Structure 1
Amino acid sequence: MTKKKALAGVTVVELATFIAVPAAGRILADMGANVIKVESLDGDNIRYTAPTEGRPVNPHEDTTFDLENANKRGIALNTKTAAGQKILFELLEKADIFLTNWRPKARDRAGLDYKTLKQKFPHLVYACVTGYGDTGPDQDLPGFDYTAFYARGGILGSLYQKGTMPMNVIPGLGDHQCAMALASGVLAAYIHAKNTGEGEYVSTNLLHTSIYTQAIMIQAAQYKEHGQPYPIDRRTTTSPFILAYKTKDDRFIQICMPVYDAYYSKFMTCIGREDLAQDARYTHLQDVAKHKRSPEVYDIIWQQMAQKTVKEWREIFMANDIPFSVAQLWEEVLEDKQAWAIDTFYRMQYANGSEKALVRPPIRFLESGLPDYQRGPLLGEDTPTILQELGYSADEIAKLEASRDVSVWRE
C-alpha cells in the first residue's frame, strides 16, 4: 500500500516563469502537493529555451520544462482580463500556498502584492523569488542567475584562474539553490499557518543566495592582511592540496585535503615521492606559506600526476583513502553508477518513444518513497479540469476560450 505523501491535501498556486520558483513548486509537487501552474496564453518562457541548451524543440519531449514542472497541473490564463483575474483569485481562495517570481512593481499593478492578498486570504502563505530582493534601489531590476547570482554575487569576478577569463556559466545553478531555500521557508510558514491560521510572506533572491553560497570566502575577504585577493593563480594558492591536477590521459582529478599537515606524508608517498614524505621544508602548511613554497609543492604534484592515467590514480587513491574525484563530463555523470544507485535520475518514457534520463530534486523520503515523475503539463492541458473544479460548466469554459481569457491545449 502506497503511503500518503507529506503534502497530500495541500494546494499550491504557482504564477511564475523560468526556473527558480517553478523548481520550488516542483519540490512541493513531489512531496504530494496539488500544484496548479498558471501560465500566460503564450506559456512559460522556459518552454522555448531548447536551442540555447542544445536540445530539439518539441513540446512532447521537453526535458527542461519537465525538470522544473513535473507532477504539476497547468492552466493557461489571461491574467490581464477581468475574467482571467477572477479565475486567478478563485484559485487563490482555495490555495494554501502562492508562489510567484513577478517583480514587486508588477505585483502591485496587478493587485497581487502581499498586503492586498493578506486582506483577502489571511491564511495564505505567499512566497516569491526575485533577482535582487524586495527592497533597495535595484529591487525591480530583471534578475537571472547569469547576472544576479554569478556576476553580481561575485562568482564570475573571483573564481577563475588569474590572467584568463571568467568561466562559461550554465543556466539553473543559482535558480535551483534559490528553489531549495524557498521551499524550506515555505514549509516552515505552512506549519505556522496550520498552527495559527495566519499566513506569512516568504522570499529569497538570487543575489543573497549567491553571497550565502560563497559566505566563507566573502567573509574572509575582510582580512586583507591575510591570504590572497581573488582571482588567484592556482599555482601560488596557499594550499596545493585542494586543487585539480591533470593526468597522463589529459583528465583532471580534484583532490581535497583541507588539513594539509595530516595528509602530507601519506599523499607524497602515494604519488611516488617517498623521498619528500618527511621533508621538513614541506610537512607543515604554516611553514610552506611563510616561506612561499606552495608553488614548489604544486609543481611537484603536477609533475607526478602527469605520470599516470585517471584509472591508475583512482586505484591508488581509493586504496589509500585519499579524498578525490575525477572531474567528470556531463555525459559521464549520466552514466555514474553511484548517481543511479541513489535515484538521482529517472528514466522518462516519452509518448514519442524516446527515453531520457531526467533528474529528481535531491530530497528523499524513506517511508512515503520516491515520487512518480509525471511530465509537466502541456500548455493549457489541464485548463478544463481545473475550471470544472472551480464550478465552471462546459459552456462557460468554451466561452472563456473563445474570448481568449483562457486557452486549452490543442494538437
Structure 2
Amino acid sequence: MTDAKPLSGIRVLEVAAWTFVPAAGAVLAEWGADVIKVEPREGGDPQRGLVTMGLIPGGPTAVNYMIEMPNRGKKSIGIDLLTPGGQEVVHELAKSSDVFLTSYLPSRRDRFGIGVEQIRAVNPDIIYVRGSGYGPEGPDADRPGYDGVSFWSRGGIADALTRELPEPVMQTPAFGDLMGGLTIAGGIAAALYKRKATGETSIVDVSLLGLAAWAMTPQVTAANLYGGDPIPTFTHREMPNPLVGNYKTKDDRYITLMMLQGDKFYPEFMTVIGRTDLITDERFAEGHARFENRGELIDIMDEEFASKTVDQWREILKPLSGAWAVLQKTSELHEDPAVIANGYIPEVKAMNGKPYILPTNPVQFDGHHVVPTGAPEHGQHTEEILLDAGVDWDKIEQYKQDGSIL
C-alpha cells in the first residue's frame, strides 16, 4: 500500500482571502496538493491584520491562528493584481496549475484579469472554482458576503437556533466558512475525477447561502410542504421521548441523551442508571404511556442526573449501548480520548515557530492521521514559486522593481 496522498501531483492556484475559500485550499494541501496562495503585494491577506486590530493577542510569541487555520501547508506569493506585470505573473502560474481557486467577486475578477475567460485563455484545461456569498447568478452575484451574514443570518440558521431567546446570537468565528471550505474541496475532487475520466474541465461554484440551505434542509422542505414553521420545538419537560434531551448534573454540567428508539433503549437505560423499578412502572412501561406521562418521567430523570457529577455519569453510562455524550466545552476537545486516538487535533508549529494545536480536516485516507504544517509568511515563497514556473531571475527582478510582486 502506498503512502502517497490522494492529490499528490495536483497544483492549485489560490487567489482568495479570509477563510471560506482559503479553507478549501488548506484541505487540498492536507490531501497532498501543491497550493500556491496569491496574496496582495501590500499587506497580504487582510486576515493577517486581525492581530493589529486587537482581535487576536499580539506580541512576538502570539499565534495568528485566524491566518494559520485556513492557510496551513501552502506557499505564499505577494502580487499586485492591479499591475500588468502582476496579472502576467498570475497567468504564468495558471499555465501549470490544475485548479484556479478564487473568492473575489465578478467585478474584481475582471478588474484583476482573473475571470474565467482570462484564465482559460492561458490554460483551457484548468478547473475554475468560485466561492461566493450568494451564488454566481441573480441580483446578489456581485454582492460581498461573509458566513455571519450569508450563511448564518440570511440562510435562516440564526433564526432556527435562537428563536426562543431574547435576541439572536452571533455565530462562532468561521463556523460556516470552515464547512464551506470542506464543501469546496469536495467539489474540486469531483471535478478532478471528471477531468481525468472524460477529459472535460469544469467551473465549480459553492456559495455560503447555498450551504445554509443544504444545512437547513429539513426545516426548509417542511416549511414549503406544510407552511409556517411545522417542525415543532419542545421545552425540556415536553420532549416526546425522555431519552432525547439534555440533563443537568450535580456540578452544573449537562449530559445529552440521543436514543431515538425509546422502546428499544428504555429498559437498558433504566438498568444502567439503577432505576429498574421504572421499567415495570405502569406509567412508563410502554411507549404510549411514557409519552402521556413524559413530564413525570423527565422530572424523575432530572433528579437522578442532578444527584451525581458529570464524571460520575461518564462512568455510569459507559456500558450503555444507546447514544449519549457529555455536553463538552471546546476547550475540552483536545483532551477527548477519541480526539487523541484519531489525531483530530495535532500539534503544529506556527510561522513564528511557536507550537500550538490545530484541528485538521476530518477526512482520513488509508488509516493515516492528517499531519498539518504551518501557514506561510506573507510572500515567503515568491522567488521559489516563480523559478519553479520557469521565470528567470532577470524577469523576477523586473517584476520586483516595477511593483508587480513582493
TM-score, normalised relative to structure 2:
0.89
Unaligned ranges ≥5, structure 1: none
Alignment of 1:31-50 (within 5 A): 31-41=31-41, 42-50=43-51
Amino acid aligned to 1:170: T
Q: Deviations over 1:219-242 (max 9, x none)?
A: 234465999656653433433322
Q: Is the 8 A contact 1:13 1:36 kept in 2?
A: yes
Corresponding residue for 2:109?
Answer: 107
Corresponding residue for 1:147?
Answer: 149
Shift of 1:213: 1.8
CA RMSD of aligned residues (A): 2.8
Q: Give the whole-Å Cα distance in 2 for the aligned partners of 1:97 and 1:58.
A: 35
Q: Give the whole-Å Cα distance in 1 for the aligned partners of 2:230 and 2:198.
A: 50
Shift of 1:287: 5.8
Corresponding residue for 2:391?
Answer: 392
Q: Deviations over 1:168-222 (max 9, x none)?
A: 5212221121112211111111122223332101111111212212323432344
Q: Give the whole-Å Cα distance in 2 for the aligned partners of 1:14 and 1:218.
A: 33
Corresponding residue for 1:315?
Answer: 315
Corresponding residue for 2:343?
Answer: 343
Amino acid aligned to 1:386: I
Corresponding residue for 1:205?
Answer: 207
Does 2:169 match 1:170?
no
Alignment of 1:208-227 (within 5 A): 208-222=210-224, 224=226
Q: Give the whole-Å Cα distance in 1 for the aligned partners of 2:241 and 2:112.
A: 54
Task: Count how many residue pairs are aligned between Structure 1 and Structure 2.
Answer: 404
Shift of 1:27: 1.4
Q: Give the whole-Å Cα distance in 2 for the aligned partners of 1:34 and 1:174.
A: 25
Shift of 1:288: 5.4
Q: Deviations over 1:318-362 (max 9, x none)?
A: 123342111112221122222111011222245756321122111
Q: Is the 8 A contact 2:12 2:97 kept in 1?
A: yes
SS at match of 2:192: helix
Q: Deviations over 1:123-177 (max 9, x none)?
A: 1111121111111222233221111212122221112372444345212221121
Does 2:379 match 1:380?
yes
Amino acid aligned to 2:405: V
Q: Is the 8 A contact 1:124 1:198 kept in 2?
A: no
Corresponding residue for 2:246?
Answer: 244
Percent identical: 32
Amino acid aligned to 1:305: F
Q: Give the whole-Å Cα distance in 1 for the aligned partners of 2:55 and 2:237.
A: 33
Amino acid aligned to 2:48: R
Aligned pair in 2 of structure 1 residues 358, 388: CA closer, same or farther (>3 Å)?
same
Shift of 1:62: 2.8
Aligned pair in 2 of structure 1 residues 129, 237: CA closer, same or farther (>3 Å)?
farther
Alignment of 1:182-197 (within 5 A): 182-197=184-199
Q: Deviations over 1:281-309 (max 9, x none)?
A: 445555655x5x54443333222211111
Amino acid aligned to 1:76: G
Q: Is the 8 A contact 2:273 2:317 kept in 1?
A: no
Q: Give the whole-Å Cα distance in 2 for the aligned partners of 1:252 and 1:316.
A: 14
Unaligned ranges ≥5, structure 2: none
Tell me which moved more, 343-352 or 137-146: 343-352
Q: Is the 8 A contact 2:8 2:33 kept in 1?
A: yes
Shift of 1:270: 3.9
Shift of 1:16: 0.6
Q: Give the whole-Å Cα distance in 1 for the aligned partners of 2:83 and 2:205.
A: 27
Corresponding residue for 2:5?
Answer: 5
Q: Is the 8 A contact 1:71 1:372 kept in 2?
A: no
Shift of 1:273: 4.1
Does 2:329 match 1:329?
yes
Tell me which moved more, 114-123 or 126-135: 114-123
Alignment of 1:46-125 (within 5 A): 46-50=47-51, 54-56=56-58, 61-125=63-127
Aligned pair in 2 of structure 1 residues 166, 273: CA closer, same or farther (>3 Å)?
farther
TM-score, normalised relative to structure 1:
0.88
Q: Is the 8 A contact 2:19 2:178 kept in 1?
A: yes
SS at match of 2:94: helix
Amino acid aligned to 2:396: I
Q: Is the 8 A contact 1:272 1:304 kept in 2?
A: no
